Amino acid sequence: MSRRQLAGAMALAAALAVPAADASSHREAPFITRMPKVDATDFYMFRSYEAGREDSVTLIANYLPLQDAYGGPNYFSLDPDALYEIHIDNSGDAIEDITFQFRFTNNLNGANGITLPVGPAGNQKNVSVPFTNVGAITFANRGNQNVQENYSVKVVRGARRSGTAQDLTNTAGGSTTFAKPADYVGTKSLGNAAAYESYAQHHIYNVNIPGCTGVGRMFVGQRRESFAVNLGPVFDLVNAPPAVITDPSARGAVPNPLAKKNVTTLALEVPISCLKAGTQSVIGGWTTASVRQARAVNPAATYTTPSREGGAWTQVSRLGMPLVNEVVIGIKDKDRFNASEPKDDAQFADYVTHPTLPAVLELLFGGAGVKAPTVFPRTDLVAAFLTGVTGVNANGSVAEMQRLNTALPATAKSGQNNLGAAACFVNGQLTLGNAGCDPAGFPNGRRPGDDVVDVALRVSMGYLLANDTQAPARNVPFHDAVLQDASQFDAVFPYLTTPNAGANGDGT
């Protein structure tokens, strides 16, 4: 490791003091549970580590959580009346400078969808079928697909609602409309996992991004749920024995309960030169979803118009650093956080300086010797959570977002440590030559294989504070017993893996 990388590792490890138990944002606020199609689950931002693509940044925004693979007959199309966005701040003012806006259309195959002739001659009628498809689906032939989902993407420079907007275009032919692959209905409709992945790969597009040099890549479609967490026990008062969640050998002892779920991914790979401004190498990023301010339910609903939407776009989902809204923001402010913008995050400062999760863990496990940090305000959390670390991933703003130093090199999949920069430290101190030191990991952005739950549990309990008096449990290796690791993901774009099949041809 070079001196420059090592210095970055040391500062990045200080940045690991993020709010407790950062993970993913499934059903994180009361209001968003009513609108699962616009519920952001995970946001990733990292230097691409696919061989030959290291000069790009990959942005991944996942939506529509906890998809059961067998969730037919309508499956998991995104909302055509919503606006899905990925925002980049490259000037350090917590205001978006570049926004990628995704809009979706869900069209029937023909005016009435696929119809079949039913009845004998003389009394025959063409009747619309109730199914998403009536035969095998291939990339070359969507004819058997009853509902065909497409999307378009605009890049907006300046304010998201008033800036200059231009269309992303397909390098093959210049189209501004892109096909989204069908969800993995099952093996009879779309073949085995290898066949489905080949079909999905045909929906990776090379794209021209207005105002950029170089070619980007884009994929939008269903993927296997990319997050790993012991979800049920965590929210049942951390229903696990202390001896398990403090034993490092038990990491991975519990199968991931989300492994049989799917999610919908919006993935962009963008040249670094397109995202950063001037000599500033640090970018900030977050994803949002918005709906129209007014909705009138159509009493005579049709496929195209079940409701009438109008008024200004109104943000209902926001995600930058993971699991902030679930376990950091108080329940009374969860909907407010989802509607807010990073530039206004001073209103949530108390949740960072005086976090409640360490106090809850002490309340639950105090009898087993678990003690929360005693130093307030938690400036160790503020530096990383709201400002970034000077000289590493600070961008001048005071706001909650992911921050990525695009000048720090990517780590190949085979060399990634799922504890990110935390592995550079022993007992709160940088240890030269420490095995596994990985400055390219969380919180310098976030990669799919970064085990942010385990990292954040430890730092929330004071892993990086100065001494045992300030943080009595700082050296306890807390974890949730479910492993997140780069080995669970692909080494190439879009990195997230083949979704679970709705049916496997054997009744399952």
In 3-state terms, what secondary structure has residue 398?
A: coil
CB atoms within 10 A of CB 372: 21
Give me the count of residues in the chain.
Answer: 508
Domain range list for the chain: 3-488
Q: Exposed e or buried b for every residue in 76-100, given b needs 16+ CB within 10 A?
A: bbbbbebbbbbbbbbbbbbbbbbbb
CA distance readout (Å), 98 to 152, 163, 177, 483: 16, 9, 20, 34
Closest to 405 in 3D by CA, of 47, 18, 150, 144: 47
pLDDT at 391: 66
CA distance readout (Å), 22 to 6, 33, 171, 293, 453: 25, 19, 38, 30, 5
Closest to 60 in 3D by CA, of 73, 49, 71: 49
Q: What is the CA radius of gyration of the chain?
A: 23
**Both tokens of residue 235?**
């929210």
One-letter amino acid for residue 477 of the chain: P
Residue found by looking up tokens 């942010």 in the block: 452
Q: What is the pTM of this model?
A: 0.93
Contact of 269 with 56, CB cutoff 8 Å: yes
User: What is the Cα 27 distance to its own chain's centre?
Assistant: 13
Please name the helix (run of DSSP H) or strand (run of DSSP E) that holds residue 356, with its range, or none: none
**Both tokens of residue 84?**
């899905």
Number of H helices, E strands in the chain: 12, 18
Q: Would you give per-residue pLDDT tens digits along the chain (508 residues)? A: 443 443 333 333 333 333 333 346 788 888 999 999 999 999 999 999 999 999 999 999 999 999 999 998 999 999 999 999 999 999 999 999 999 999 999 999 999 999 999 999 999 999 999 999 999 999 999 999 999 999 999 999 999 999 999 999 999 999 999 999 999 999 999 999 999 999 999 999 999 999 999 999 999 999 999 999 988 888 888 888 888 888 999 999 999 999 999 999 999 999 999 999 989 999 999 999 999 999 999 999 999 999 999 999 999 999 998 878 888 899 999 999 999 999 999 999 999 899 999 999 999 999 888 999 999 998 877 766 777 766 678 788 889 999 999 999 999 999 999 988 777 766 666 565 677 888 888 888 999 999 999 988 888 898 878 888 999 998 888 899 999 999 999 999 999 999 999 988 776 7
pLDDT at 24: 61
Return d(Cα 419, Cα 404) in angstroms, integer: 17
Is the previous residue joined to 358 through a cis bond, with omega within 30 degrees of 0?
Answer: no
pLDDT at 6: 35
pLDDT at 37: 97
DSSP state letters, 179-241: EPPPP---HHHH-SHHHHHHHHHTT-EEEE-TT-SS-EEEEEEEEE------HHHHTTTS-S-
Closest to 340 in 3D by CA, of 320, 322, 356: 320
pLDDT at 65: 94
Contact of 489 with 495, CB cutoff 8 Å: yes
Return d(Cα 428, Cα 26) in angstroms, integer: 32
Contact of 500 with 70, CB cutoff 8 Å: no
